[in-house]
A and B are shown apart, each in its own frame.
Chain A
Amino acid sequence: KAGVTQTPRYLIKTRGQQVTLSCSPISGHRSVSWYQQTPGQGLQFLFEYFSETQRNKGNFPGRFSGRQFSNSRSEMNVSTLELGDSALYLCASRLQGVRGNEQFFGPGTRLTVL
């Protein structure tokens, strides 16, 4: 089975631009979660989507948004980029989205904001 895939792997943007990141979960997995990793804040939860609905949201500003499609693929959008948005963005999928399931991560998208 193919693992979680994320595109693009690397991205360079300038302040004020917007960016869209994509995540394809493991086949059959319906839950997709997004995390931001920075040296200062560590790994922080952004949001989770399950069956095209946002189930849970972390403490991030409204500039961070996402969606999930009927094939479970998910996109994350960041508008009006700030320097502090430079980070590794990780996507994870799990089978059913219930609390007991194992989570699998993609390789990440490294975003640099200049």
Chain B
Amino acid sequence: GIQVEQSPPDLILQEGANSTLRCNFSDSVNNLQWFHQNPWGQLINLFYIPSGTKQNGRLSATTVATERYSLLYISSSQTTDSGVYFCAVVDNYGQNFVFGPGTRLSVLP
């Protein structure tokens, strides 16, 4: 099945800094989502982005499907951005999401 990698596994930033999180996948996908898991465990939808670029406030994402990667950009980070960020994909043969291992982000005041 499709493999999903995320980097870096851990990231510590000072408030106000910018960051880039990466998601690599091993096969073609027709669905890709980025999620933020809050401290209570809920997965919050950030982007539905099987291809192209989207922006939402301080967050933006780009998926280059032909090169099998996606990037999540966080600008001017805030302490509330802390948590785990997951990339999840559905390949062209399956119907369920395969999640990456996540990037744990800590934003220090």
Are A and B co-members of a single complex?
A: yes
- How far is A58 from B95 in the complex, measured between Cα atoms in Å? 11
With a CB–CB cut-off of 8 A, which chain B residues contact A110?
41
Nearest B residue (CB) for A59? B1
Residue interface bits A9-48, CB-to-B below 8 A is 1, else 0: 0000000000000000000000001010100001111001
- B42 touching A105, Cβ below 8 Å: yes
With a CB–CB cut-off of 8 A, which chain A residues contact B99?
35, 42-44
Residue interface bits A72-107, CB-to-B below 8 A is 1, else 0: 000000000000000010101000011111111111
User: Which chain B residues in 44-91 approach chain A with CB under 8 Å?
Assistant: 45, 48, 50, 86, 88, 90
Residue B16 is within 8 A (CB to CB) of chain A in the complex: no
Shortest CB distance A96–B (Å): 11
- A56 touching B94, Cβ below 8 Å: yes
Q: Do A33 and B41 form a contact, CB below 8 Å, given A42-B102, A99-B90? A: no
- B86 touching A43, Cβ below 8 Å: yes
Selected from A42, A98, A105, the residue in CB contact (under 8 A) with B35 is A105
- B96 touching A45, Cβ below 8 Å: yes
With a CB–CB cut-off of 8 A, which chain B residues contact A45?
96-98
- How far is A91 from B63 in the complex, measured between Cα atoms in Å? 25
With a CB–CB cut-off of 8 A, which chain B residues contact A97?
95
Residue A108 is within 8 A (CB to CB) of chain B in the complex: yes
Residue A55 is within 8 A (CB to CB) of chain B in the complex: yes
**Ordered nearest first, which 3 A-B pairs have the shortest CB separation?**
A43-B99, A105-B43, A102-B48
Sample of 16 more A-B contacts, CB < 8 Å, known A58-B96, A102-B33, A107-B40 = A42-B99, A42-B102, A48-B95, A55-B95, A56-B95, A88-B41, A90-B43, A92-B97, A99-B31, A99-B95, A100-B31, A103-B33, A103-B97, A105-B45, A108-B42, A110-B41
Q: CB within 8 Å of A: which residues of B?
A: 30-31, 33, 35, 40-43, 45, 48, 50, 86, 88, 90, 92, 94-99, 101-102
